[in-house]
Amino acid sequence: MTDINQLSPWPLLKAHHQKLAATPLSGLFAQDTARFDKLSLRLPGLLADYSKNHITEETVSLLVSLARAAGLEKRRDAMFAGERINQTENRAVLHTALRAAADAQMMVDGENVVPAVQKTLARMGQFSEALRSGAWTGHSGKEITDIVNIGIGGSSLGPQLVCEALGAFHHPRLRAHYVANVEASDLGGTLRRIDPETTLFIVASKTFTTAETMQNSHIARDWLLAHYKDDSASVAKHFVAASTNTSAVAAFGIAPENMFPFQDWVGGRYSVWSSIGLSVMLMVGADKFAEFLSGARDMDAHFKTAPFEKNLPVLLGLLGLWHRNLCNYPALAVIPYHAALRRLPAFLQQLDMESNGKRVMQDGKPVPVATGPIIFGEPGTDAQHSFFQWLHQSPDVVPVDFIVCAKPSDGTAAQHSMLLANCLAQSAALMTGQNNTAEPHRHFTGNRPSTTFLLDALTPYTLGLLLSMYEHKVFVQGVLWCVNSFDQWGVELGKVLAKGLEPEIAGTASPDTTRDASTAGLVAHIRSQST
């Protein structure tokens, strides 16, 4: 495995970066009137404009050479072929099979996994139709009005994002709620807003052992049983599961036919396309969920077949590497100019930072360069009145992804024109700045990069297109840095330590005398407060 900074295009890129730095972004536009056409890409439903980044066609050519030298094509094809590219967990990485066409062949260990995926989707569709039509009722015979998804990480962030983003397509009778935090007010506040007789809980956990999810699920089940005076038959009418652990699901009281499985080659942050997305399908219907999968499938096909020079996920991954390793930018701001996409930055935090926040390569050696950036963001225009001051005038330069729709979801044409004007003005202002040396506080250096993603409209299809694009971008960067983008051992460490601390905090075990003084002191103070 060759370090990225040892590949032959690397010194050429460093020299090119130093040379290019002498010309500001506005100067690059002045030099080439066709720059926008050369550095933007149109796909059905989406226009990506990356011309406001400090790159040229020569930059793209050098970056593409780096991708080829790093073996990106081979690694991409290995993923689609179902090879076990998640080496530390010995698993295939085939979330693309979750949105594959029904007649596609996608193999894992010699088996075409698409029929099993389609079978689960069909069962989800049947259940969704029954609940949405009112045929599926709660234990007392009342129609379901509230869906509560209990999960954490990808089992919550993904479906919550998609559900909120597609709010315009929700069933008028149904409301969705997402409980992830083990802190009591998250679940408690939800339970106070719902009626046990008209609520369906979805326990979203692959193993059905995730500590936070199971804690909340058992509390929710006790709440339901208290209402139904310990009638255990009520659980089967108010709980379903997205899981693979049949015995644990049955022991919980969920009927086997109400468990919707997915496979171990589906990572949590890539699982919204699977039965983890059941809450989404219940809210928008099977047809709209199919459109969501279709958008992702079309981006998969583009990523798999388009030449690197015109391949959007490849270009975005390379651009991210350019920013992180050549320009030394530490972060990426994601600003969706749509209130329904408010959870997108949080979703991308997990997707990017959990995937590529790694310090060692797949061979165990330290990565020789910085890896995944800090991801943060809030919806525009709100963000313009908080941290945009920092984006415009801080000594730190942070690239921005602007996401906006050409067509409005709601409101008047005047409202949407104002929104679009604000989005475009911010990207222009970051680039051009404002020369006012006479008043230093009003001086803006500009020369700050951004990429604008212009969706035709926010629909299930374009949302699928957008999320799949980011998934593949993260994959590209993981290949370039030689890290495993599909494990998360940093998450596991804290969970292991928490297990040992729980009985000490509860007072059922003696304090561990080998703990560091800070942790021991905090435990002692907590225990003193409970006496």
Q: What angle do CA 157, 161, 165 make, to 5 degrees?
A: 175
pLDDT-derived band at 244, boundaries 50, 70, 90: confident
Report the candidate in 210, 85, 159, 208 with the shortest Cα–Cα distance to residue 492: 210
Q: Do the strands 46-49 and 40-43 form a parallel or antiparallel pair, or are they unpaired?
A: antiparallel
* Separation CA 443–CA 433 (nearest Å): 8
Length of the chain: 531
DSSP string, 34-91: THHHHTEEEETTEEEE-TTSS--HHHHHHHHHHHHHTTHHHHHHHHHTT---BTTTTB
> Using one digit for the tens of pLDDT, what is the confidence trace for 408-452?
988 788 999 999 999 999 999 999 999 888 999 999 999 999 999
Average pLDDT over the chain reads: 96
pLDDT-derived band at 531, boundaries 50, 70, 90: low
* Separation CA 52–CA 395 (nearest Å): 19
> Using one digit for the tens of pLDDT, what is the confidence trace for 288-324?
999 999 999 999 999 999 999 999 999 999 999 999 9
Catalytic residues: 354, 385, 495
- pTM of the prediction? 0.96
Instruction: Count CA atoms within 13 Å of residue 249 on its CB side.
Output: 23
- CB contact at 8 A, 351 and 470: yes
pLDDT-derived band at 490, boundaries 50, 70, 90: confident
> Using one digit for the tens of pLDDT, what is the confidence trace for 159-183?
999 999 999 999 999 999 999 999 9
Does 492-529 match 4-94+293-481 at the fold level? no
Question: Which CATH number applies to 113-284: 3.40.50.10490, 3.40.50.150, 3.40.50.2000, 3.40.190.10?
Answer: 3.40.50.10490
User: What are the Cα distances from residue 37, in Å, to 33, 40, 507?
Assistant: 9, 6, 66
Helix (H) or strand (E) holding 520: helix 517-529
**What are the boundaries of each domain within the chain?**
4-94+293-481, 113-284, 492-529
* Separation CA 322–CA 317 (nearest Å): 9
Q: What is the CATH number of domain 4-94+293-481?
A: 3.40.50.10490
> Strand, helix or coil at 418?
helix
Instruction: Considering the domain delimited by 492-529, tell me its CATH architecture.
Output: Orthogonal Bundle (1.10)
